Structure 1
Amino acid sequence: MAARHLRSGLPLLRAHLAQGSRGFASQVANPTGKDIKVPEALYGGTGNYASALFLTAAKANVLDKVESEISDVVAASKKSSLFSQFIKDLSVPKETRVKAITEIFAEAGFSDVTKNFLAVLADNGRLKHIERIAERFVDLTMAHKGEVKVIVRTVIVS
Protein backbone atom coordinates (compact mmCIF):
# COMPACT_ATOMS: atom_id res chain seq x y z
CA MET A 1 0.00 0.00 0.00
CA ALA A 2 2.77 2.48 0.93
CA ALA A 3 4.66 1.79 -2.29
CA ARG A 4 1.57 2.71 -4.30
CA HIS A 5 1.38 6.06 -2.46
CA LEU A 6 5.04 6.77 -3.13
CA ARG A 7 4.67 5.93 -6.81
CA SER A 8 1.52 8.06 -7.06
CA GLY A 9 3.47 11.05 -5.74
CA LEU A 10 6.23 10.71 -8.33
CA PRO A 11 4.30 12.37 -11.18
CA LEU A 12 3.56 15.31 -8.88
CA LEU A 13 7.24 15.68 -8.04
CA ARG A 14 8.16 15.53 -11.72
CA ALA A 15 5.47 18.08 -12.56
CA HIS A 16 6.77 20.48 -9.90
CA LEU A 17 10.32 20.05 -11.10
CA ALA A 18 9.42 20.34 -14.77
CA GLN A 19 7.39 23.50 -14.25
CA GLY A 20 10.14 25.13 -12.27
CA SER A 21 7.39 26.90 -10.35
CA ARG A 22 9.68 27.37 -7.39
CA GLY A 23 12.78 27.86 -9.47
CA PHE A 24 14.22 24.52 -8.37
CA ALA A 25 14.29 22.91 -11.77
CA SER A 26 14.80 26.04 -13.77
CA GLN A 27 17.04 25.76 -16.80
CA VAL A 28 20.69 25.76 -15.77
CA ALA A 29 23.50 26.08 -18.24
CA ASN A 30 25.30 22.79 -18.65
CA PRO A 31 28.96 23.68 -19.26
CA THR A 32 29.94 20.21 -20.46
CA GLY A 33 27.17 20.03 -23.02
CA LYS A 34 26.49 16.40 -22.02
CA ASP A 35 23.32 15.02 -20.59
CA ILE A 36 23.81 14.37 -16.91
CA LYS A 37 22.40 11.15 -15.51
CA VAL A 38 21.96 9.82 -12.01
CA PRO A 39 24.83 7.36 -11.36
CA GLU A 40 22.58 4.79 -9.67
CA ALA A 41 18.83 4.28 -9.48
CA LEU A 42 17.25 5.15 -6.15
CA TYR A 43 13.70 4.25 -5.27
CA GLY A 44 11.07 5.58 -2.91
CA GLY A 45 10.25 9.12 -1.96
CA THR A 46 13.65 9.96 -0.50
CA GLY A 47 15.38 8.44 -3.53
CA ASN A 48 13.30 10.54 -5.89
CA TYR A 49 14.12 13.74 -4.01
CA ALA A 50 17.82 12.84 -3.76
CA SER A 51 17.95 12.07 -7.49
CA ALA A 52 16.23 15.34 -8.40
CA LEU A 53 18.64 17.28 -6.19
CA PHE A 54 21.61 15.46 -7.71
CA LEU A 55 20.53 16.24 -11.28
CA THR A 56 19.88 19.90 -10.52
CA ALA A 57 23.14 20.36 -8.61
CA ALA A 58 25.14 18.54 -11.30
CA LYS A 59 23.65 20.68 -14.07
CA ALA A 60 24.49 23.82 -12.09
CA ASN A 61 27.98 22.41 -11.40
CA VAL A 62 27.58 22.85 -7.62
CA LEU A 63 27.55 19.24 -6.37
CA ASP A 64 30.18 19.76 -3.66
CA LYS A 65 28.60 23.00 -2.41
CA VAL A 66 25.11 21.47 -2.25
CA GLU A 67 26.46 18.36 -0.51
CA SER A 68 28.11 20.56 2.12
CA GLU A 69 25.00 22.71 2.59
CA ILE A 70 22.64 19.74 2.91
CA SER A 71 25.03 18.21 5.47
CA ASP A 72 24.94 21.53 7.36
CA VAL A 73 21.12 21.41 7.45
CA VAL A 74 21.19 17.87 8.85
CA ALA A 75 23.79 18.88 11.45
CA ALA A 76 21.66 21.89 12.44
CA SER A 77 18.62 19.66 12.87
CA LYS A 78 20.61 17.38 15.17
CA LYS A 79 22.12 20.28 17.11
CA SER A 80 18.99 22.42 17.57
CA SER A 81 15.94 20.78 19.06
CA LEU A 82 13.86 23.82 18.06
CA PHE A 83 14.88 23.53 14.40
CA SER A 84 14.39 19.76 14.49
CA GLN A 85 10.90 20.20 15.92
CA PHE A 86 10.10 22.86 13.29
CA ILE A 87 11.04 20.66 10.33
CA LYS A 88 9.08 17.70 11.70
CA ASP A 89 5.95 19.61 12.77
CA LEU A 90 3.38 19.42 9.97
CA SER A 91 0.91 21.53 11.98
CA VAL A 92 2.89 24.61 10.94
CA PRO A 93 1.08 26.10 7.92
CA LYS A 94 2.77 25.37 4.60
CA GLU A 95 3.23 29.06 3.75
CA THR A 96 4.93 29.69 7.11
CA ARG A 97 7.27 26.71 6.64
CA VAL A 98 8.27 27.76 3.12
CA LYS A 99 8.77 31.42 4.09
CA ALA A 100 10.84 30.53 7.17
CA ILE A 101 13.04 28.05 5.28
CA THR A 102 13.56 30.46 2.40
CA GLU A 103 14.53 33.33 4.70
CA ILE A 104 16.75 31.26 7.01
CA PHE A 105 18.82 29.75 4.22
CA ALA A 106 18.97 32.91 2.12
CA GLU A 107 20.40 34.71 5.14
CA ALA A 108 22.85 31.82 5.66
CA GLY A 109 24.13 32.33 2.10
CA PHE A 110 23.11 28.95 0.72
CA SER A 111 23.15 28.34 -3.04
CA ASP A 112 19.94 28.80 -5.01
CA VAL A 113 19.82 25.06 -5.72
CA THR A 114 19.83 24.20 -2.01
CA LYS A 115 17.44 27.01 -1.01
CA ASN A 116 14.95 26.05 -3.70
CA PHE A 117 15.22 22.36 -2.87
CA LEU A 118 14.54 23.01 0.81
CA ALA A 119 11.58 25.21 -0.16
CA VAL A 120 10.16 22.34 -2.23
CA LEU A 121 10.59 19.98 0.73
CA ALA A 122 8.90 22.50 3.03
CA ASP A 123 6.06 23.01 0.56
CA ASN A 124 5.50 19.27 0.22
CA GLY A 125 5.78 18.56 3.96
CA ARG A 126 8.92 16.46 3.44
CA LEU A 127 11.46 18.36 5.54
CA LYS A 128 11.23 15.66 8.17
CA HIS A 129 12.97 13.32 5.70
CA ILE A 130 15.97 15.61 5.13
CA GLU A 131 18.42 13.31 6.91
CA ARG A 132 17.61 10.28 4.74
CA ILE A 133 17.49 12.40 1.58
CA ALA A 134 20.93 13.79 2.47
CA GLU A 135 22.33 10.28 2.99
CA ARG A 136 21.03 9.16 -0.38
CA PHE A 137 22.29 12.34 -2.07
CA VAL A 138 25.78 11.67 -0.66
CA ASP A 139 25.56 8.12 -2.03
CA LEU A 140 24.87 9.59 -5.47
CA THR A 141 27.72 12.10 -5.29
CA MET A 142 30.11 9.38 -4.16
CA ALA A 143 29.04 7.13 -7.04
CA HIS A 144 29.45 10.07 -9.43
CA LYS A 145 33.02 10.61 -8.19
CA GLY A 146 33.78 6.88 -8.35
CA GLU A 147 34.13 6.63 -4.58
CA VAL A 148 33.06 3.51 -2.72
CA LYS A 149 32.05 3.14 0.92
CA VAL A 150 33.96 0.43 2.71
CA ILE A 151 34.00 -0.95 6.20
CA VAL A 152 37.32 -2.21 7.43
CA ARG A 153 37.34 -4.62 10.34
CA THR A 154 40.48 -5.80 11.98
CA VAL A 155 41.10 -8.43 14.56
CA ILE A 156 43.86 -8.14 17.09
CA VAL A 157 45.05 -11.49 18.35
CA SER A 158 47.05 -11.43 21.55
Structure 2
Amino acid sequence: MAKEMAKMGISLSDAQMAEALKQALSMAGLGGQDGPVQRRPVLGSGWQHEGRPVTLSLAVSIGTIPPLRLYMRGEKDQPEPVEARMAVRNWFFTTGTQSSPSVQGSGGSASVSWTPEKGKTPESFALDLVVFYSLEFFKRTGEPWGSDGAPLRYENMSVSFPVGVYFCPVK
Protein backbone atom coordinates (compact mmCIF):
# COMPACT_ATOMS: atom_id res chain seq x y z
CA MET A 1 0.00 0.00 0.00
CA ALA A 2 2.86 2.37 0.84
CA LYS A 3 4.39 1.82 -2.63
CA GLU A 4 1.07 2.53 -4.35
CA MET A 5 0.65 5.73 -2.35
CA ALA A 6 4.24 6.79 -3.09
CA LYS A 7 3.46 6.48 -6.82
CA MET A 8 0.74 9.10 -6.25
CA GLY A 9 3.12 11.36 -4.32
CA ILE A 10 1.54 10.61 -0.93
CA SER A 11 3.54 9.62 2.12
CA LEU A 12 2.09 8.68 5.50
CA SER A 13 3.62 8.03 8.89
CA ASP A 14 3.22 4.56 10.39
CA ALA A 15 0.44 5.88 12.65
CA GLN A 16 -1.39 7.44 9.68
CA MET A 17 -0.98 4.22 7.69
CA ALA A 18 -2.38 2.15 10.58
CA GLU A 19 -5.37 4.50 10.87
CA ALA A 20 -5.99 4.38 7.10
CA LEU A 21 -5.94 0.57 7.14
CA LYS A 22 -8.23 0.51 10.17
CA GLN A 23 -10.74 2.79 8.40
CA ALA A 24 -10.57 0.79 5.18
CA LEU A 25 -11.24 -2.46 7.04
CA SER A 26 -14.02 -0.80 9.00
CA MET A 27 -15.75 0.36 5.80
CA ALA A 28 -15.58 -3.21 4.54
CA GLY A 29 -17.18 -4.43 7.76
CA LEU A 30 -13.99 -6.22 8.78
CA GLY A 31 -12.81 -3.84 11.50
CA GLY A 32 -11.92 -4.55 15.08
CA GLN A 33 -13.77 -4.18 18.36
CA ASP A 34 -13.40 -0.36 18.57
CA GLY A 35 -16.70 0.71 17.13
CA PRO A 36 -20.10 -0.10 15.70
CA VAL A 37 -18.59 -2.29 12.98
CA GLN A 38 -20.63 -5.30 11.98
CA ARG A 39 -18.77 -8.32 10.78
CA ARG A 40 -20.16 -9.46 7.48
CA PRO A 41 -20.55 -13.16 6.78
CA VAL A 42 -19.00 -14.57 3.62
CA LEU A 43 -22.00 -15.29 1.40
CA GLY A 44 -20.09 -16.97 -1.37
CA SER A 45 -16.84 -17.37 -3.19
CA GLY A 46 -15.65 -18.71 -6.50
CA TRP A 47 -14.29 -17.68 -9.84
CA GLN A 48 -15.81 -15.19 -12.23
CA HIS A 49 -14.86 -16.14 -15.76
CA GLU A 50 -13.98 -13.22 -17.99
CA GLY A 51 -16.65 -12.68 -20.64
CA ARG A 52 -19.26 -14.97 -19.00
CA PRO A 53 -22.25 -13.10 -17.56
CA VAL A 54 -22.79 -13.26 -13.80
CA THR A 55 -26.14 -12.72 -12.07
CA LEU A 56 -26.62 -12.11 -8.36
CA SER A 57 -30.14 -12.38 -6.94
CA LEU A 58 -31.50 -11.59 -3.50
CA ALA A 59 -34.89 -12.67 -2.12
CA VAL A 60 -36.27 -10.64 0.78
CA SER A 61 -39.21 -11.23 3.10
CA ILE A 62 -39.63 -8.70 5.89
CA GLY A 63 -42.38 -9.66 8.31
CA THR A 64 -44.74 -7.29 10.05
CA ILE A 65 -42.86 -4.89 12.28
CA PRO A 66 -44.53 -4.78 15.70
CA PRO A 67 -45.54 -1.37 17.06
CA LEU A 68 -43.06 0.27 19.39
CA ARG A 69 -44.58 1.67 22.57
CA LEU A 70 -43.01 4.85 23.87
CA TYR A 71 -43.75 8.20 25.47
CA MET A 72 -43.60 11.52 23.61
CA ARG A 73 -44.14 15.03 24.88
CA GLY A 74 -47.62 16.16 23.98
CA GLU A 75 -49.15 19.57 23.42
CA LYS A 76 -49.19 20.27 27.18
CA ASP A 77 -45.50 19.31 27.40
CA GLN A 78 -46.48 16.18 29.33
CA PRO A 79 -45.40 12.64 28.37
CA GLU A 80 -48.11 10.84 26.41
CA PRO A 81 -48.15 7.09 25.68
CA VAL A 82 -47.95 6.51 21.91
CA GLU A 83 -47.20 3.73 19.45
CA ALA A 84 -44.77 4.12 16.59
CA ARG A 85 -45.75 2.01 13.57
CA MET A 86 -43.40 1.29 10.71
CA ALA A 87 -44.35 0.07 7.24
CA VAL A 88 -41.86 -1.00 4.57
CA ARG A 89 -42.50 0.83 1.31
CA ASN A 90 -39.77 -0.55 -0.96
CA TRP A 91 -36.21 -1.89 -0.94
CA PHE A 92 -33.20 -2.57 -3.15
CA PHE A 93 -29.73 -4.01 -2.70
CA THR A 94 -26.32 -2.72 -3.67
CA THR A 95 -22.98 -4.37 -4.37
CA GLY A 96 -21.08 -1.10 -4.09
CA THR A 97 -20.76 -0.70 -7.85
CA GLN A 98 -24.32 -1.68 -8.81
CA SER A 99 -27.80 -1.38 -7.37
CA SER A 100 -30.74 -3.63 -8.05
CA PRO A 101 -34.06 -2.27 -9.25
CA SER A 102 -36.32 -1.09 -6.44
CA VAL A 103 -38.90 -3.65 -5.25
CA GLN A 104 -42.24 -2.40 -3.88
CA GLY A 105 -43.47 -3.78 -0.56
CA SER A 106 -41.73 -5.85 2.06
CA GLY A 107 -40.94 -8.93 0.00
CA GLY A 108 -39.83 -10.13 -3.38
CA SER A 109 -36.60 -10.64 -5.25
CA ALA A 110 -34.22 -8.56 -7.33
CA SER A 111 -31.12 -9.23 -9.41
CA VAL A 112 -28.11 -7.50 -10.90
CA SER A 113 -25.99 -8.84 -13.76
CA TRP A 114 -22.60 -8.01 -15.20
CA THR A 115 -19.97 -9.42 -17.52
CA PRO A 116 -16.61 -9.65 -15.72
CA GLU A 117 -13.47 -8.11 -17.20
CA LYS A 118 -10.10 -8.93 -15.69
CA GLY A 119 -8.57 -5.86 -14.08
CA LYS A 120 -11.84 -3.90 -14.17
CA THR A 121 -14.42 -5.97 -12.31
CA PRO A 122 -14.25 -5.96 -8.48
CA GLU A 123 -13.05 -9.31 -7.15
CA SER A 124 -14.84 -8.89 -3.84
CA PHE A 125 -17.81 -6.82 -2.81
CA ALA A 126 -20.13 -6.21 0.09
CA LEU A 127 -23.86 -6.73 -0.31
CA ASP A 128 -26.13 -4.24 1.49
CA LEU A 129 -29.91 -4.13 1.74
CA VAL A 130 -31.47 -0.65 1.69
CA VAL A 131 -35.04 -0.43 3.02
CA PHE A 132 -37.37 2.58 2.73
CA TYR A 133 -40.20 2.85 5.23
CA SER A 134 -42.77 5.18 6.74
CA LEU A 135 -43.11 5.88 10.45
CA GLU A 136 -46.43 6.97 11.99
CA PHE A 137 -47.37 7.74 15.57
CA PHE A 138 -50.69 6.78 17.15
CA LYS A 139 -52.33 7.19 20.52
CA ARG A 140 -52.80 3.88 22.29
CA THR A 141 -56.49 4.20 21.39
CA GLY A 142 -55.55 3.87 17.71
CA GLU A 143 -56.16 7.53 16.81
CA PRO A 144 -53.37 9.34 14.96
CA TRP A 145 -51.07 11.27 17.30
CA GLY A 146 -49.59 14.63 16.40
CA SER A 147 -49.81 18.32 17.05
CA ASP A 148 -52.44 20.85 16.06
CA GLY A 149 -54.62 18.01 14.76
CA ALA A 150 -52.07 16.94 12.14
CA PRO A 151 -50.83 13.36 12.51
CA LEU A 152 -47.10 12.90 12.94
CA ARG A 153 -45.87 10.87 9.97
CA TYR A 154 -42.47 10.47 8.33
CA GLU A 155 -42.21 9.20 4.76
CA ASN A 156 -39.26 7.81 2.84
CA MET A 157 -37.05 7.07 5.80
CA SER A 158 -34.28 4.61 5.01
CA VAL A 159 -32.00 2.17 6.73
CA SER A 160 -29.15 0.06 5.34
CA PHE A 161 -28.37 -3.47 6.53
CA PRO A 162 -25.03 -5.18 5.83
CA VAL A 163 -25.88 -8.60 4.39
CA GLY A 164 -22.48 -10.09 3.64
CA VAL A 165 -19.42 -10.29 1.42
CA TYR A 166 -18.60 -12.19 -1.79
CA PHE A 167 -15.07 -13.11 -2.87
CA CYS A 168 -14.91 -13.89 -6.58
CA PRO A 169 -11.68 -13.26 -8.49
CA VAL A 170 -11.81 -12.97 -12.27
CA LYS A 171 -9.87 -15.47 -14.38
Bucket of the pairwise TM-score, normalised by the shorter protein: under 0.3
Structure 1 or 2, whichever has the larger Rg, is 2
Higher share in strand = 2
Higher share in helix = 1
Could you state the TM-score of these two structures normalised by the residue count of structure 1?
0.22
Could you state the TM-score of these two structures normalised by the residue count of structure 2?
0.20
| Larger relative contact order (CA 8 Å, sep ≥ 6) | 1
